[in-house]
Amino acid sequence: MSARIMILTLQLIAAISSVAAPALLAAQAAAPDSSIHVAFGGYIDGYFAYDFGRPRNIDRAFTTQAARHDEFNINLAYIDATLTGARVRGRVAAQFGTSVQANYAAEPRIGNLSGPDVSRYIQEATAGYKVSSAVWVDGGVFFSPFGSENWISRDNWTYTRSLIADNSPYYEAGVKATWTINPKWSAQLHVINGWQNISETNSSKAAGARVDFAPHDGLSFAYDLFVGNEQPDSMPSRLRTFNEVIATVGVTSKLQLRGTLDVGTQKHSDGDGTGFWNGYALVARYQVAPRVALAARVEGYSDPDQFIVTTGHPYGLEATGASLGIDIAPMPRLLWRSEVKFLGAHDPLFPDQSSDDALSKHDVAIVTSLAFTF
């Protein structure tokens, strides 16, 4: 009897399996991919810069990149871990270098748990979730959407940064939503602590947005917006707005052009009206050979009310400039870049040992860099 029951039981299991197995396989095929991949990498950008003004304290003025004069140093080095999945993503990156020290120097120090001492080592620390087929929500410390020049030199057409890049946010802390509308359009919305700060400066939050449009290969446009109050709670609110338009054109397979225009506004400290600042950068990049490229830039910046850059001079930072560089890639992941940059200002703003007051209206610097990605 027991043998017969066992046989009947096995036959029943086999029958159930024959029905359930296809359904189970179909369910598994329909289930979303839950696999998560983690990749580790890094970047080292070493440089030598020579500023013909020969600043006495070796710090070069009005720049975060190639910030030291007549000195071999590290512009930026980082190690990172990047997580990717069908519905989740994230990145953690720790960094150091002279660009980090320069860029995070103004990080607010309010209370005992803020300031640049630790914050500057955080390049990114983000976690994201795909809430729908076209929308991601990410939170943490992440790269700013503003500007046409990335924080990582390798990703830029020029090695040095334009004045508009160095004087708009490279990073943010908050939450953002990214919506891929279709292959041509995408949009972002940000709620953040403020204008390039991880630690808060007041009890209000700021907002940012970006829209990208690429009508076809070789042509793209972007618009960026920032709205927020950067004053501490002990002072009257002074609304700041920032608008940016970027256009990139591929003229030929070798020649690319890019133009960026910034316009910002902020209320005056006495409450009497609103002031403006603005800037522009025009960049051309030409691929001479598969491993050699040339880049040239002209730029201008005007901040007469000194909302962004405090100079102590009547015209604030009123300057124009130009640069010319060459990129050589001897092998994959290795990039050698050299550049000469000129800046001219309305007021004597640049350190210059040869002048009577140790300041000059002009600045010329050359820089060479060797960077490796791993």
Q: What share of the chain is helix, strand, coil (3-state, %, to 5)?
A: 10, 50, 35
Residue 279's identity, in one-letter code, is G
| pLDDT computed for residue 111 by the predictor | 84
Q: pLDDT band at 33, cuts 50/70/90?
A: low
**The tokens of 212 are what?**
């990208």
pLDDT tier at 8 (50, 70, 90 boundaries)?
very low
C-alpha closest to that of 355 among 132, 53, 4: 53
Closest C-alpha to 242, from 266, 273, 212 = 266
CA-CA distance, 106 to 171, in Å (whole number)? 13
- Contacts for 88 with CB less than 8 Å, ≥ 6 apart: 36, 127, 128, 129, 130
Is the domain 43-373 a CATH 2.40.160.10 member?
yes
Residue 24, pLDDT above cutoff 70: no
Stated pTM of the model: 0.87
At 32 the pLDDT is: 59
Of 297, 301, 294, residue with least CA distance to 320: 301
- β-pairing verdict for 71-85 and 350-351: unpaired
Average per-residue pLDDT for the chain: 91
Residue 26, φ and ψ in degrees, nearest 5: -65, -40
Per-residue pLDDT band at 20 (split at 50, 70, 90): very low
Distances 248 to 113, 221, 226, 276, 285 between C-alpha atoms, Å: 41, 6, 21, 25, 11
Banded pLDDT at 54 (limits 50, 70, 90): very high
More confident residue, 242 or 13: 242
Q: What is the pLDDT of residue 356?
A: 67
When mean pLDDT is compared over 111-115, 147-151, 274-278, the highest value belongs to: 274-278
In which element (H, E) is residue 360 found? strand 359-360
- Per mean pLDDT, which range of 82-86, 92-96, 271-275 is the poorest? 271-275
Q: What is the DSSP string of 190-249?
A: EEESSTT-SS-SSS--EEEEEEEEEEETTEEEEEEEEEEE-S-TTS---EEEEEEEEEEE
Dump pLDDT digits (tens) for 217-228: 999 999 999 999
Indicate the pLDDT class of residue 270, thresholds 50, 70 and 90.
confident
Q: Where are the domains of the chain?
A: 43-373
Distance CA 113, CA 131 (A): 32
What is the bridge-based pairing of β-strands 185-192 and 255-267?
unpaired
Q: What is the DSSP letter of 33?
A: P
